[in-house]
C-alpha cells in the first residue's frame, strides 16, 4: 500500500536558503536531505492503490491561485518538551490556508479524514532519534529565530508517495497539480 502525503515542494532557491541553516553546533541528529525539503499540507498515510488513484483524481479539482510562501523563524516539536524535530517556520497566510482547505476538501470528497489538530505549517530540518535533553538546541534556536527566506512563488502542489528508508524517507511524485495564475 502506498504511503501518501500532499505537500508543497520548495523552489531550489528556497531550498538553498533553508539549507543555510545546517550547522554542526546541534547535537547529533538527521538533517533533512535537499530533495526531502517540503511543506506538508496533509499527511494521508498508507492507503490501498485504488484509494490513492481516487485521491489523485480528486486533487485535480483544486482551483486555488498561486501565491508567495513566506518562511521565517525556527522552532521545535514538541514545542514545550524535549525536541524530536527542528523546523523552519512558514507563515500561515490566507492563501496558504486556502490551499490547505481546498486540498483537504478534495481529499474528504474521497473519504479522507483530516487530523483534528491545528495546521502548523513548517519545513522539517532535522530529526532526533531520541528526544534531546532540555536546552541542548536552545542556543541554535535562539541564534536563528530571525531567519527569513525570500518569498517563494508557489504555482503547484504535489501528491507524494513516501517510502521509509534507513537514511530517511524517499519521496516520489505521484501527481503534480498546478495552481491558477492571473
* 3-state DSSP assignment of residue 161: strand
| Active-site residue, from 120, 122, 144, 148 | 122
Q: Respond yes or no: is residue 122 known to be catalytic.
A: yes
Q: Respond yes or no: is residue 148 known to be catalytic.
A: no
The residue with cell 538546541 is 137
Please, where are the H alpha helices in the chain? 12-19, 49-59, 94-108, 138-143
C-alpha closest to that of 95 among 147, 160, 153: 153
CA atoms within 13 A on the CB side of 181: 6
Q: By the 8 A CB rule, do 158 and 7 touch?
A: yes
Catalytic residue numbers, as ranges? 38, 122
Amino acid at each position: 500500500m502506498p504511503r501518501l502525503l500532499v505537500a508543497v515542494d520548495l523552489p531550489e532557491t528556497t531550498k538553498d536558503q533553508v539549507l543555510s541553516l545546517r550547522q554542526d553546533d546541534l547535537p547529533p541528529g538527521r538533517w533533512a536531505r535537499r530533495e526531502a525539503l517540503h511543506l506538508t499540507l496533509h499527511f494521508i498515510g498508507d492507503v490501498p492503490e485504488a484509494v490513492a488513484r481516487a485521491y489523485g483524481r480528486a486533487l485535480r479539482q483544486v482551483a486555488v491561485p498561486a501565491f508567495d510562501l513566506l518562511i521565517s523563524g525556527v522552532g521545535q516539536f514538541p514545542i514545550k518538551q524535549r525536541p524530536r524535530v527542528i523546523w523552519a517556520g512558514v507563515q500561515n497566510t490566507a492563501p496558504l490556508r486556502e490551499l490547505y482547505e481546498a486540498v483537504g476538501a478534495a481529499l474528504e470528497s474521497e473519504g479522507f479524514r483530516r487530523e483534528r489538530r491545528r495546521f502548523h505549517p513548517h519545513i522539517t530540518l532535522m530529526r532526533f532519534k531520541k528526544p534531546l535533553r532540555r536546552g541542548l538546541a536552545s542556543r541554535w534556536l535562539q541564534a536563528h529565530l530571525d531567519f527569513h527566506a525570500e518569498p517563494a512563488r508557489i504555482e503547484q502542489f504535489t501528491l507524494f508517495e513516501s517510502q521509509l528508508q534507513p537514511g530517511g524517507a524517499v519521496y516520489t511524485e505521484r501527481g503534480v497539480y498546478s495552481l491558477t495564475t492571473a
